[in-house]
């Protein structure tokens, strides 16, 4: 039987990637074979015997900010830290398929340069000195491939220059060591492709890790990275964050440089602009990254970057926030786990003295906003992203059906359709603005999805995240609680849950809340996120 050409190419790439993991960093076959997909793999880095006690301590530092401080204080060397995270990322890859490209030798060489610089000058190279940062596959790193998990891209040469954000991170002293896995076309919430495989959720491998920055979500949950960079056009930072139990922040368009990334989309694509932003373990880590980036000369590297620096928000005039509660869309009812989670979060915030505003009846456009957004995503009459898949002969992944008509028999969009979409988007933006202004809201709280992470290929359309993309509002996800069938039982309703509610399949999966701020007021949202994070983390709240 002849093996199709696309399979041969994919197999060759897989073998190349596997060979880059040193033998001594490979997880024992007995451990891999003993994994129960429904129990998760979060403990494997501790028990596989690959990491030394000090490497475990380094990788389990509370967050990237604390690790950065230890590096600056010379409590740890960049080589020690980079070695630890390279090894832990290699472990994460073997149990979740979260990586695409590894740059271990280059990262260790970079770390030595940073140590030498600190030793010679007595000063760190920059505000991220020695900090390992993981990157989504889309970011170009000179000398490294950016195939995006597409077979048709495997023959493309290595990147000949860095993405704008990569330049900024290197100038700030960061160490770049891995790129992370994505879905085919990057336009689904299930990170699977025929080259690098499916990203598995480390909490329960029967669940999705989210997408399109799913590799980042899984890697950070396993502490193979403390700070990573994803991208977001419909929720692609926040979805992996909520699925994998991490913090994720989607900035406003133009605040973080996006230029120089690899893309499967048609050049000149209009509609909703993608953004880059952090996935991490705390709000302060996201602030660390965004401060560094926004203080850099971003508009010297990206023609579409706005080029104004981090603006320190004024202290709050009142200790209490005014928080609006995003209403449920009746067509996309919240699952019991998220209904309980949002209710508990709101009760804690109210108990802490914050003013809660019920927005029921005021935002009735959530599902409509999703429909508008996905019409924008399908506006390319050539279906360029779909053609990149079919041109190699590789099959479409199952979840791609949520985004595209893969039969290709939709009527061709017209220029009139584009005008109508712009009008519809403006109407939604006006609704959101009026809601904020009328109730003098600081922030809106709600779910990033109607459920926690669900079984593979069931995530569907990201109704509750794409709203913020459509109106270009910054938004973030904060992990909070877990799915618990017993506690969630009282919230079960006689409604049509989509996807179906499967309590046993999602037991103990991370839950979350999403915060949505006002356009270009990213710093203010970060200020509010730190307050909410603190309240939700408080045992006495």
pTM above 0.75, yes or no: yes
**Terminal-residue alpha carbon distance, the chain:** 64
pLDDT bucket at 202, cuts 50 / 70 / 90: very high
In this structure, what CATH number is given to the domain that contains residue 73?
3.90.1300.10
Query: Which ranges of 439-498 does DSSP label H, i.e. alpha helix?
Result: 463-471, 485-488
CB 486 within 8 A of CB 464: no
Judge whether 212 counts as a catalytic residue. Answer: yes
Residues 180 and 212 in one domain: yes
Q: Do 361 and 485 share a domain, yes or no?
A: yes
Alpha-carbon gap, residue 367 to 467, rounded angstroms: 9
pLDDT of 1: 60
Q: Is residue 539 flagged as an active site residue?
A: no
Cβ neighbour number for residue 318 with a 10 Å cutoff: 10
Q: Are residues 17 and 134 in the same domain?
A: yes
| Same structural domain, 337 and 240 | no
Q: What is the mean pLDDT of the chain?
A: 97
Q: Are residues 242 and 337 in the same domain?
A: no
Kindly state the average pLDDT of the residues 271-299.
Answer: 98
Backbone φ, ψ for residue 445 (5° rounding)? -115, 145
What is the domain extent for residue 111?
7-32+42-263+273-300
Q: Which residue, chain included where needed, has tokens 């077979």?
A: 151
* Residue 398 is assigned to a structural domain of this protein: no
Question: Residue ranges for the binding site for substrate?
Answer: 186, 212, 233-236
**Residues 243, 354 share a domain:** no
pLDDT higher than threshold 80 for residue 3: no
Tell me: do 452 and 513 sit in the same domain. Answer: yes
Total domain count, the chain: 2
* pLDDT confidence bin for 408, thresholds 50/70/90: confident
For the segment 76-97, what is each residue's pLDDT rounded down to a tens digit? Answer: 999 999 999 999 999 999 999 9
222 shares its domain with 79: yes
* From 163, 191, 212, 252, the catalytic residue: 212
Q: Which residues are annotated as a binding site?
A: 186, 212, 233-236
pLDDT in tens, 355-407: 999 999 999 999 999 999 999 999 999 999 999 999 999 999 999 999 999 98
Looking at the domain assignment, is residue 312 inside a domain? no
Q: Is the pLDDT of residue 411 over 70?
A: yes
Task: Please name the residues in contact with 367: beta carbons below 8 A apart, sequence gap of 6 or more.
Answer: 329, 331, 332, 463
Active site residue 136: yes
Whose CA is closest to 85, among 68, 108, 66? Answer: 108
CA-to-CA separations, 485 to 28, 45, 188, 204, 507, in angstroms, rounded:
34, 28, 28, 15, 6
Q: Degrees (nearest 5) of the Cα angle 52, 57, 63?
A: 140
Residue 2 lies in a domain: no
Among the options 9, 13, 87, 136, which is catalytic?
A: 136
| Residue 115 resides in a domain | yes
Q: What is the pLDDT of residue 319?
A: 86
Residue 311 forms part of a structural domain = no
Does one domain contain both 131 and 216? yes
Question: Within 13 Å and on the Cβ side, how many CA atoms surround 371?
Answer: 9
Rg of the chain, C-alpha, whole Å = 22
Residues 284 and 344 in one domain: no
In this structure, the answer to whether residues 364 and 280 fall within a common structural domain is: no
* Residue of 152, 236, 252, 373 marked active site: 236
Interior CA angle at 195 toward 189 and 197, to 5°?
50
């Amino acid at each position: 039987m002849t093996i199709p050409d696309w399979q041969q190419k994919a197999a060759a790439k897989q073998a190349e990637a596997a060979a880059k993991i040193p033998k001594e960093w490979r997880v024992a076959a007995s451990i891999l074979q003993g994994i129960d997909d429904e129990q998760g793999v979060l403990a494997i880095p501790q028990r596989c015997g690959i990491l030394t006690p000090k490497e475990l301590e380094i990788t389990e530092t509370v967050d990237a900010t604390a690790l950065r401080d230890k590096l600056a204080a010379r409590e740890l060397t960049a080589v020690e830290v980079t070695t630890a995270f390279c090894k832990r990322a290699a472990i994460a890859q073997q149990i979740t398929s979260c990586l695409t490209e590894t740059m271990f030798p280059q990262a260790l060489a970079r770390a030595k340069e940073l140590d030498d610089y600190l030793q010679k000058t007595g000063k760190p190279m920059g505000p991220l000195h020695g900090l390992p940062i993981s990157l989504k596959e889309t970011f170009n790193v000179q000398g490294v491939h950016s195939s995006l998990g597409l077979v048709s891209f495997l023959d493309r040469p290595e990147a000949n220059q860095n993405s704008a954000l990569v330049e900024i991170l290197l100038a700030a002293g960061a160490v770049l060591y891995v790129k992370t896995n994505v879905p085919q076309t990057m336009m689904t919430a299930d990170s699977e492709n025929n080259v690098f495989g499916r990203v598995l959720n480390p909490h329960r491998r029967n669940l999705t890790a989210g997408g399109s920055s799913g590799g980042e979500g899984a890697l950070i949950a396993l502490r193979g990275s403390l700070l990573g960079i994803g991208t977001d056009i419909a929720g692609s930072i926040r979805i992996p964050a909520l699925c994998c139990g991490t913090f994720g922040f989607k900035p406003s368009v133009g605040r973080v440089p996006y230029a120089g990334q690899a893309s499967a989309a048609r050049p000149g694509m209009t509609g909703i602009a993608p953004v880059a932003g952090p996935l991490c373990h705390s709000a302060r880590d996201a602030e660390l990254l965004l401060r560094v980036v926004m203080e850099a000369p971003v508009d010297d590297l990206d023609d579409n970057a706005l080029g104004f620096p981090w603006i320190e928000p004024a202290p709050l005039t009142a200790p209490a926030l005014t928080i609006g509660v995003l209403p449920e869309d009746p067509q996309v009812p919240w699952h019991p786990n998220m209904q309980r989670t949002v209710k508990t979060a709101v009760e804690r915030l109210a108990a802490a003295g914050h003013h809660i505003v019920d927005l029921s009846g005021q935002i009735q456009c959530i599902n409509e906003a999703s429909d508008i957004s996905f019409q924008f995503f399908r506006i390319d009459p050539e279906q360029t992203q779909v053609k990149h898949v079919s041109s190699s002969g590789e099959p479409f992944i199952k979840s791609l059906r949520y985004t595209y008509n893969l039969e290709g028999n939709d009527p061709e969009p017209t220029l009139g359709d584009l005008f109508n979409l712009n009008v519809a988007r403006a109407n939604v933006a006006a609704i959101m603005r009026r809601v904020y202004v009328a109730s003098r809201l600081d922030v809106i709280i709600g779910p990033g999805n109607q459920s926690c992470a669900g079984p593979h290929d069931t995530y569907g359309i990201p109704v509750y995240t794409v709203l913020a993309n459509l109106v270009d509002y910054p938004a973030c996800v904060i992990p909070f609680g877990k799915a618990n069938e017993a506690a969630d039982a009282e919230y079960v309703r006689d409604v049509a849950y989509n996807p179906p509610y499967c309590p046993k399949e999602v037991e103990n999966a991370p839950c979350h809340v999403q915060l949505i701020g006002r356009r270009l007021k990213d710093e203010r949202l970060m200020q509010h996120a730190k307050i909410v994070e603190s309240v939700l983390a408080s045992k006495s709240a």
